[in-house]
């Protein structure tokens, strides 16, 4: 049995996306260089994520930022309790 984990995070200016298997990173999105970095060592059979992996990560980043914006607006509209 293996454990696959996707880590997604964002702020207004930063973003993070990585996929790990059994606590070992397999790919990490580099949003500055606009590419996905394969972090698997050369001596293993690599799992392919396809040529569109960066576009998928970018779509997830856009959705994360949209959700962040909605949450920030909702929190600003909440009345302060005394």
The pTM assigned to this predicted structure is 0.78
Domains in the chain: how many in total?
1
Type and span of the H or E element at 58: helix 53-76
Tokens linked to 15: 């973003």
49 touches 36 (CB < 8 A): yes
Could you tell me if residue 81 is inside a domain?
Answer: no
CA 75 to CA 20: how far, in whole Å? 32
Range of the domain at 54: 4-76
The pLDDT profile of the chain, 82 residues, written as one tens digit per residue, is 999 999 999 998 999 999 999 998 999 999 999 999 999 888 988 888 888 999 999 999 999 999 999 999 988 877 767 6
Backbone angles phi, psi at 71, to 5 degrees: -65, -45
Check residue 29 and give its pLDDT: 95
- Whether 39 is in a domain gets the answer yes
Does residue 82 form part of some domain? Answer: no
Given this model, what pLDDT does residue 47 score? 83
CATH of the domain at 31: 3.10.320
The answer to whether residue 48 sits within a structural domain is: yes
């Amino acid at each position: 049995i293996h454990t696959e984990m996707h880590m997604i995070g964002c702020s207004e200016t930063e973003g993070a996306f990585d996929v790990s298997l059994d606590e070992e990173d397999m790919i990490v999105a580099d949003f500055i260089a606009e590419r996905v970095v394969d972090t698997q060592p050369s001596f293993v059979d690599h799992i392919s994520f396809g040529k569109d992996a960066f576009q998928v990560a970018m779509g997830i980043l856009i959705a994360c930022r949209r959700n962040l914006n909605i949450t920030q607006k909702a929190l600003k509209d909440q009345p302060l309790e005394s």
